[in-house]
Amino acid sequence: MSHFQVAHQPGQCSFVADCDGAQALLTYRRLGADLVDFNHTYVPKAARGSGVAEKLVRTAAQWARSEGYEIVASCWYARRVLGLDASD
């Protein structure tokens, strides 16, 4: 997992990682002044199972917390990684 470099692209509300020329990403949206929603993750087929998606989620979460945001995740994968799954 550690060999992927994750970059924050605030203008696109995303975190990206290069996967041998293809791009893995996590997108987010701000919901007010203190809430951020991780709404989508994508990993190219050749990089699936490599840990890059988890690294994207954890890097984005570190950023959000350092900025004082509360995190919600409409993306099922981000919700799972962050332990936000709740019984409905």
Is there a domain that residue 88 lies in?
A: no
Q: In this predicted structure, what is the pLDDT of residue 88?
A: 45
The number of folded domains in the chain is: 1
15 within a domain of the structure (yes/no): yes
Please state, in angstroms and rounded to a whole number, the distance separating the CA atoms of residues 20 and 10.
23
Q: Taking the model in full, what pTM does it have?
A: 0.91
CATH number where 40 lies = 3.40.630.30
Residue 48 lies in a domain: yes
* Percent residues over pLDDT 90 in the chain: 83
Mean pLDDT (the chain, rounded): 92
Q: Which domain holds residue 65?
A: 6-82
Tell me, what's the pLDDT at 2?
A: 47
| Residue 1 included in any domain | no
Query: Is 24 buried (19+), middle (13-18) or exposed (0-12) by CB count in 10 A?
Result: buried
Residue 20 has what pLDDT? 86
Strand-pair partners of 74: none
pLDDT 10s digits, 38-86: 999 999 999 999 999 999 999 999 999 999 999 999 999 999 999 987 6
- The DSSP H or E segment spanning 66 is helix 52-66
Burial class (CB in 10 A: 0-12, 13-18, 19+), 57: buried
